[in-house]
Amino acid sequence: MFYMKNPWVIVGVVAVVLFGGAVWYANHSVAESNEDIKITPNSKGNPDAAVTLVEYSDLQCPACAGFEPVIAGMLEQYANELRFEFRHFPLPPRMHPHAFQAALAAEAAGQQGKFFEYKYLLYSNQQKWSGAAVPTTFFLQYASELGLDLDLFKTHMRSSVLKDRIQAEFAEGEKVGVTGTPSFFLNGEKMEFESYLEFAQQIGYAIDPSLAASSTASTTGATPEGVRFGF
């Protein structure tokens, strides 16, 4: 037989079959990871508020983590007057090697309704997972702490749709002039400020233009040591 005289033909056929099977499995895995994915804004506050604050952020950025309690305080103070939306802007791997994967983990948690809770854990534990060679163990731990379905979480971590979302938000950020993190837009205008106090004041004035600047600066208005804006 021809096949018996030419074993390389058999090897070639087997290789083609194995390659085809690998392609099928990869496509099937991607399709499975995208099942039932819902893309909605990562927003908090009053959805009908007249004032909208948008943050472009990198989850591995220390300055972004420093803003977490500030944003929480603003949302508590202006629960009915402010809408807040978080958008991803993971910096390049040479700067923050785990930023994109962290964003993907947060999005996977968001598919189970826990985006902001997961984001809080990432910021609270930023030094731990940022310094890990492979942060996946930490990401799974945080998902477990929130009571997420871990199998579903891991499936969504492979989602090409969620990866596309993160990349699209990054591209959108570049288009509107984001060059560092965190960057904030108040009703569509990029904010410029030098301290947490000035940041909070601008939001307060947008909500109520009649507000007068406080005569004494709160101690929370000072920029904490080690926090730099725009990086």
Alpha carbons within 13 angstroms on the beta-carbon side of residue 9 total 6
Spell out the residues 6+ positions from residue 3 whose beta carbon is closer than 8 angstroms to its own. 9, 10
Q: With H, G, I as helix, E, B as strand and everything else as coil, classify residue 91.
A: coil
pLDDT at 227: 36
Q: Which strands make up the sheet holding 42-45, listed edge to edge?
A: 42-45, 82-88, 51-57, 183-186, 189-190
CATH of domain 43-221: 3.40.30.10
Task: Determine whether 71 is exposed, middle or buried from the number of CB atoms within 10 Å of its CB (0-12, 13-18, 19+).
Answer: buried
pLDDT tens digits, residue range 173-213?
A: 999 999 999 999 999 999 999 999 999 999 999 999 988 55
Picking from 53, 50, 82, the residue whose alpha carbon sits closest to that of residue 183 is 53
pLDDT at 11: 52
Encoded tokens for 181: 């993190």
Residues of the chain with pLDDT under 70: 1-30, 212-231
Q: Is 45 left (phi over 0), alpha (psi -120 to 50) or beta?
A: left
Distances (CA, A) of 45 to 27, 37, 57, 85, 207: 39, 23, 18, 9, 13
Q: Is the distance from CB of 132 to CB of 191 less than 8 angstroms? A: no
Q: What is the pTM of this model?
A: 0.80
Domain ranges of the chain: 43-221
pLDDT tens digits, residue range 150-170?
A: 999 999 999 999 999 999 999
Q: Is the distance from CB of 143 to CB of 109 less than 8 angstroms? A: yes
Spell out the residues 6+ positions from residue 186 whose beta carbon is closer than 8 angstroms to its own. 51, 52, 53, 202, 203, 206
pLDDT at 13: 53
pLDDT at 211: 82
Number of Cβ within 10 Å of residue 37's Cβ equals 15
